A and B are shown apart, each in its own frame.
Chain A
Amino acid sequence: MAERQLMTGNEAMAEAAIRAGLRAYFGYPITPQNEVLEYMAAHLPQAGGAFLQAESEVAAINMCYGAAAAGVRAMTSSSSPGVSLKMEGISYLAGADLPCVILNAARGGPGLGNIAPAQGDYFQATKGGGHGDYRLIVLAPSTGQEAAELAGLAFDLSDRYRVPALILADGMLGQMMEPVTLPPPRDPGTLPPKPWALTGAKGREPNLIASFALEPTVLREINVKRYARYREIEAREVRWEEVATEDAEVLLIAYGTMGRIAKTVVRRGRERGVKVGLLRPITLWPFPYAPIRTLAERVKAILTVELSAGQMWEDVRLAVEGRTATPFYGELGGVVPTPSDILQEVLRYA
């Protein structure tokens, strides 16, 4: 078995990205994700990749566009205000069908907010954020180990479907150190080929990468094709974890940092004889509507817990469609509720 290493979530994601074959990283400093840049600066060139601290977030995401168009595994990272700045570029990546991994170590908002962990970027991540009819594959790790695993998965899914993937982490996950067993490194030369990439058109027809089609019927056709891929992603790539759901009467739904804290709530609740369970979405898009709907048929209440005023909550209610009660508990501004706070809420519905 590979060795367990003590590292921050930021470092774990950075190293896992390099091991997944990342060869072009472009970033700009912002707390609480600066360790990603630091790690990439120190380690990516040694792996044969290009690290560049761009002049701005906007520049960094557009550098990703260029590197991705050339067929290289490309990545940028930032935190909430910086990710907002990248939104135009993300829309262009989506419109050009380019794979790319974007890491958001989210912090309190809106505006400059603060640097504490928050989940107020769910809408931005899963519902657009940039302009136009597009989706991102959104992965939400809850531990350092899962962060490392999802960093690799983000590249694979993004390449397979030619859809940008966003890792929605938060400041706590980024800053916290945990034991991590890293995946083995992969040689980019062994990754599936990208015949669409701009590699020099010697001996073949030129490829075109663009997010631009003036003729409405042409743009419609491009978008329809992309939506077929979105439907395929929704059918095949939904990921979630269930804890003690078999006989649960109150079901918690929480992701990321709140998802792991909810596990403690389930354990403490069960110790007290409370039939509480947890469904933790791992992919926020595609969202696990179907398993939530199934559980909604047999639980007394589904309590959504977020570090926001209720964003994923909207998707939970879309899944439940009135089959059971759907209360919400959230904290704002970077305040993280304790397991006792949440258990108290659970007891109101048990």
Chain B
Amino acid sequence: MERAVVCAGFGGQGVLLAGKILARAGMDAGLDVTWLPSYGPEMRGGTANCTVVLSDEPIGSPIGENPDVLLAMNGPSLDRFESRVAEGGAIVVNRSLIARDLTRKDVCGIFIAANDVARELGEPRVANMIALGAVVRALGILPLETVKKAMTVELGAKGRERLIALNQEALERGYAAAPPC
């Protein structure tokens, strides 16, 4: 079993962090994982992406040329990566920023208005966790609880209880909102 996930969006949308949490959850679940960021001169407002590979065998290529799941947090990310998604894979589309439908008919589209749901929760910055919840559901190999724990480790627990509770809720909302493919 080997799965690749690409998380892509504007710099500042938290796609690298979402990928890191996914990678940590995979490691905690006993899998081999790689987390490969785009490490160019990105900045807030530019584009950023990372590829996470999860496998029950040692991982050769960390590139994920045909990801099983794509998280597209903005339009340019969907334009760039849609054609690369594996046949039968899933694309989580951030409906808050992407109006168009998928051009692919052979993948499962999961449309979530991540920024709008985040605002409902009173914290615009948790949009990435809402989207990650949907990714976890689409991926179907990691328990949400493991991802929640990994998120807690990545965010650092001390004095951040409110933030962590909010992010947990965001993960749950995204997970629940993702229709089964």
Give residues in A with beta carbon < 8 Å to B. Answer: 4, 6, 31-32, 115, 143, 171-172, 175-179, 260-265, 267, 336, 338-340
Contacts of B57 in A (CB 8 A): 267
- Cα distance A264–B53 when bound, in Å? 13
B24 CB within 8 Å of chain A: yes
Comparing B35-43, B87-95, B161-169, the segment that makes contact with chain A is B35-43
A264 B60 Cβ-Cβ under 8 A: yes
A176 B62 Cβ-Cβ under 8 A: yes
A175 B61 Cβ-Cβ under 8 A: no
Report the nearest B residue to A173, measured CB to CB. B62
Identify which of A171, A179, A260 contacts B60 (C-beta below 8 A).
Answer: A260
- Cα distance A31–B38 when bound, in Å? 13
Known: A4-B27, A340-B65. A31 touches B60 (CB 8 A): no
Give residues in B with beta carbon < 8 Å to A. Answer: 20, 23-24, 27, 32-37, 39-40, 57-63, 65
Query: What are 14 A-B contacts defined by CB distance under 8 Å?
Result: A6-B33, A172-B36, A172-B62, A175-B39, A176-B35, A177-B34, A178-B35, A261-B61, A263-B60, A264-B60, A265-B60, A267-B57, A338-B61, A339-B60
B27 A179 Cβ-Cβ under 8 A: yes
B36 A264 Cβ-Cβ under 8 A: no
A177 B20 Cβ-Cβ under 8 A: yes
Contacts of B65 in A (CB 8 A): 338-340
A6 B35 Cβ-Cβ under 8 A: yes
B58 A263 Cβ-Cβ under 8 A: yes
B61 A260 Cβ-Cβ under 8 A: yes
Contacts of A340 in B (CB 8 A): 65
A176 B32 Cβ-Cβ under 8 A: no
A175 B37 Cβ-Cβ under 8 A: yes
Identify which of A6, A172, A261, A265 contacts B23 (C-beta below 8 A).
Answer: A6
Additional pairs, 19, CB under 8 Å, beyond known A6-B27, A176-B34, A179-B33: A6-B33, A6-B35, A143-B58, A175-B39, A176-B62, A177-B33, A177-B35, A177-B36, A178-B35, A260-B59, A260-B60, A260-B61, A261-B60, A261-B61, A263-B60, A264-B59, A267-B57, A338-B65, A340-B65
- Cα distance A262–B61 when bound, in Å? 8
Contacts of B32 in A (CB 8 A): 178-179
- Cα distance A336–B27 when bound, in Å? 25
Contacts of B40 in A (CB 8 A): 115
Closest approach, in angstroms, between the C-beta of A288 and any C-beta of chain B? 20
Contacts of A179 in B (CB 8 A): 27, 32-33
Contacts of B24 in A (CB 8 A): 6
Report the nearest B residue to A5, measured CB to CB. B27
A178 B61 Cβ-Cβ under 8 A: no
- Cα distance A237–B34 when bound, in Å? 30
Report the nearest B residue to A243, measured CB to CB. B60
A338 B63 Cβ-Cβ under 8 A: yes
- Cα distance A262–B27 when bound, in Å? 23
**Central interface residue in A31, A175, A264, by most chain B CB within 10 Å:** A264
- Cα distance A172–B34 when bound, in Å? 11
Contacts of A336 in B (CB 8 A): 63
Contacts of A175 in B (CB 8 A): 36-37, 39
- Cα distance A115–B151 when bound, in Å? 30
Report the nearest A residue to B37, measured CB to CB. A175
B33 A261 Cβ-Cβ under 8 A: no
- Cα distance A261–B33 when bound, in Å? 14
Contacts of A31 in B (CB 8 A): 39
Contacts of B20 in A (CB 8 A): 6, 177
- Cα distance A340–B63 when bound, in Å? 11
- Cα distance A176–B24 when bound, in Å? 13
Contacts of A339 in B (CB 8 A): 60-61, 65
- Cα distance A115–B40 when bound, in Å? 7
